[in-house]
Chains A and B, each alone.
Chain A
Amino acid sequence: MTIAPDRSPRLVDLFEHGLNSPICLTWELTYACNLACEHCLSSSGRRDPRELSTDECKAVIDELQAMQVFYVNIGGGEPTVRPDFWELLDYATSHSVGVKFSTNGVRITPEAARRLAANDYVDVQISLDGATPEVNDAVRGPGSYDTAVRAMQNLHDAGMKNFKLSVVCTRHNIPQMDEFKAIADRYGAQLRLTRLRPSGRGADVWDELHPLPGQQRELYDWLIANGDQVLTGDSFFHLSAYGQALPGLNLCGAGRVVCLIDPVGDVYACPFAIHDEFLAGNVREQGGFAGVWRGSELFRELREPQTGGACSSCSFYDTCKGGCMAAKFFTGIPLDGPDPECVQGYGEALLAQRPEDRANIPKPSADHSRRAPRKPRPVPVTLSTRRPERPPVSACAEDPLAGLSLS
């Protein structure tokens, strides 16, 4: 909510210049994950050996408290597989840093659910990308639907109110919005919808999974009808160019109000931009996280007024602000160009120009995907019947002259 006693500038105009501390800070605690979702935006799977230690994490939390970062969005990877996850959770919430964490539900046992329900400073987001096992498991892996549902049941049974059911909108689940809402209602949860980004492994499946143009309209209409009960993390502001602005800031917050701390302490402008181009620094440096947030050259540049480039002449530029920086970057569109999913259709023309092999498109800087197990396959072997020139020598022959032929 915005409180202003007169016609002061719009919030979005004030935020363009950045804040003393982020409002929305995402902290991926680990790259380790029990799942291998096709569209994982952080390419998670294997733990990084350079991961921040428990003490380093606590030092970050101390800084966040001093900076009055009221809450952090913790993710991963699967954050709950860190052995010190619960310790860090308690440390943050006892230091006035609220925690909202995303999980696939694997560790949300009845006991864990009771512990979460008892802590007022904790919120939980259960990830589910299909309202049916078929749609969900196709993207998130076999059994992941059941895991998420079990976690929601445990939270509900523990009396946890208003936790979040978090859905990444894809081509296959856009028709399921009402079903998602019904699932959320059943467990006393709130529905949260976010945008599929071509980040991490998402880049590999984005062409097949991102909503079709007609579905974007369907989603927009659904959000207009249900928007007051549904959270979006401000992720669909590019849809505002359909007309009525969606609730939220409608601004790319990267480096201005948002940033990411990754498991090894690297600070990126946003959670969807794990690439050297958007790397602002590391919390292990002298000035810590505050030093990066306040002193990074990259963040300073992002806080300058942005030019709309080709978009500035579009009558919708003021509502969509050119869309999502990360979505442009990882589809090879110039940063001052249109969003790849621009609802006015300006992105499609540029997408069509991508070379078949996508050679010009940047790849994420970190890939922690688990290496796929090698499938057994036939090995071609050429057999010959060439006669040996000398008698075979046994591997056990100890005679130093074994096999030597003198002539």
Chain B
Amino acid sequence: MSQIDLDRAWDLHPQVSVRPEPFGALLYHFGTRKLSFLKDLTLLEVVRGLRDAPSARAACAAAGVPDPDLPRYGIALAALVQSSMVVERTAP
């Protein structure tokens, strides 16, 4: 499975809402009406940090993801990109 380009800047889609839950979070996309579940609190930290981070790699680092785990988080983010939950950030 492919992963996203960790060196680019990403963000949550503007129509996506995040609802924290004990195990992680629920994401809901009001445009596609799709739900996604983040089963991991660290991944939630990463996703929330995307907006202010210069790159996905930086967001992962800020959330405390150890380097060996980076590929797995890259794959998880790719799945979120595929469902349009996460989009590439073009404007600064």
Contact = CB atoms under 8 A, between A and B. Distances in A.
Contacts of B40: 4-6, 8
A98 B37 contact: no
Contacts of B30: 70, 96, 98, 120-121
Contacts of B36: 1-3
A14 B39 contact: yes
Interface string B8-20: 0000000001011
A19 B75 contact: no
Interface residues of A, number: 23
Interface in A102-137: 120-121, 123
A123 B76 contact: no
Secondary structure class of chain A's binding surface, majority of residues: loop
Contacts of A4: 38-40, 43, 76
A402 interface: no
Nearest to B34: A1
A120 B31 contact: yes
A98 to B, nearest CB: 6
A23 interface: yes
B46 to A, nearest CB: 9
B69 interface: yes
Interface residues of B, number: 28
Contacts of B83: 1
Contacts of B35: 1, 23, 70
B69 A5 contact: yes
A305 interface: no
Secondary structure class of chain B's binding surface, majority of residues: mixed
A40 to B, nearest CB: 27
Give the one of B23, B31, B38 with max A CB within 10 A: B23
Nearest to B27: A3
B34 A8 contact: no
A298 B30 CA distance: 32
B80 interface: yes
A70 B75 contact: no
B43 A5 contact: yes
A310 interface: no
A11 B22 contact: no
A5 B77 CA distance: 9
A235 B20 CA distance: 26
Contact of A17 (B22, B34, B72): B22
A20 B83 CA distance: 24
B52 interface: no
Nearest to B71: A5
B39 A70 contact: no
B19 A20 contact: yes
A9 interface: yes
B17 A68 contact: yes
A120 B28 CA distance: 14
Contacts of A121: 30
A341 to B, nearest CB: 27
Contacts of B80: 3
A19 B26 CA distance: 10
Contacts of B72: 5-6
Nearest to B72: A5
Interface of B: 17, 19-23, 26, 28, 30-31, 33-40, 42-43, 69, 72-73, 75-76, 79-80, 83
The 10 closest A-B pairs by CB, nearest first: A70-B28, A68-B19, A14-B23, A5-B76, A4-B39, A5-B72, A8-B39, A1-B36, A3-B76, A2-B37
